[in-house]
Amino acid sequence: MNAAVSTANRVALQDAGELPAPVSGQRHEIASAIGRLTYYSAGPQTESRWPPLLLIHSINAAGSAYEICPLYEHYRQSRTVYALELPGFGHSDRSKRKYSVRMMTDAILIAVREIQNVHGRGPIDALAVSLSSEFLARAVTELPLAFRSLALVSPTGFRSRDATTKWRDGTRGMPWLHAFLEFPLWSEGLFRLLTSRAGIRYFLNKTWGSRNIDEGLLEYDYLTTHQPGARYAPYYFVSGFLFSEGISRIYHSLTLPVWMSHGVRGDFVDYSNKTQVQGRANWTIQIFPTGAMPHFEAKEAFIMAYDAFLAGVSSPSPA
């Protein structure tokens, strides 16, 4: 799927300890207050009538921009597309520090300002996967004029149990669990166990709801989880510090056009609490007969549905 991670290069890169680019295009690095941020960009040779599109991967033990590769490589043919790697993941800073909702949200805001420096102040389209949908939604509430539309793919915060946390603040962080995970005697060994090829395959099977997973993603997940510092951000994720208690309030406050999509297989199928936004004029909800990565499993149908949504969003101002 991705020329940047060809089979021929994979073994050599793995032996050298290097991490290949997850997508094609130009790599950029930003020196920011929250550490080095990496993003990729690509676009057509001619000027596009569409605004830039920012794509953001999910948060898990193996998060990287490879998770949005199918969309990035498709949309780069018709518009300028950006793929951000969040703090603690991919080629961004993976140092040992506290990873938080604030840090992830700030990373998105920093990336948006970088895009504005290139394209001007016109609003952009943005898409995020899974937990990163929460960070993107929060970024929209803090910088609303920077966004034209919002797409949430298999977003968190819509389970039946999430309905009771609507007006709470803070996170679901469990300090005791994080302390256990980071205990020196087993911290690294436990992460290596979870991110063995067998372990990654197990979790991808649960994500897909089948064994018909994307093998390229599995291989890239293995490479990215075996980089220095790979466990630090995921351990904050596993112990709940990146989940916002009051995310329902954030979703409810969105006024721009929102496209939400999710699948029906695997471990991520509880969207009972989507009734809070279902039927609202600015929300469109699309269900695919897939697992939690519909843009991999049903790429053509996904793109067709997303394009139909974007066609209904008010046209951007001329460049």
Contact 108, 84 (CB under 8 A): yes
Angle value at C-alpha 85, between 211 and 137, nearest 5 degrees? 90
Give how far the C-alpha of residue 2 lies from the chain's centroid of Cα atoms, to the nearest Å: 18
Rounded alpha-carbon distances, angstroms, from residue 104 to 66, 238, 255, 286: 18, 15, 22, 26
Structure confidence at residue 161 (pLDDT) = 66
Burial class of residue 161 (count of CB atoms within 10 Å of its CB; 0-12, 13-18, 19+):
exposed
> Residues of the chain with pLDDT > 90: what percent?
81
Q: Read off the pLDDT of residues 57-113 as tens digits, 9 standing for 90 and up.
A: 999 999 999 999 999 999 999 999 999 999 999 999 999 999 999 999 999 999 999
Structure confidence at residue 39 (pLDDT) = 98
Rounded alpha-carbon distances, angstroms, from residue 10 to 3, 23, 163, 183, 217: 11, 14, 44, 32, 12
The predicted model scores a pTM of: 0.91
The residues spanned by each domain of the chain are: 3-311
Q: Read off the pLDDT of residues 305-314 as tens digits, 9 standing for 90 and up.
A: 999 999 999 7
Query: How far is it, in rounded angstroms, from Cα 13 to Cα 223?
Result: 9
Structure confidence at residue 106 (pLDDT) = 98
Query: How far is it, in rounded angstroms, from Cα 148 to Cα 290?
Result: 27
DSSP state of 141: H
Q: Which helix (H) or strand (E) holds 145?
A: none
Report the topology of domain 3-311: Rossmann fold (3.40.50)
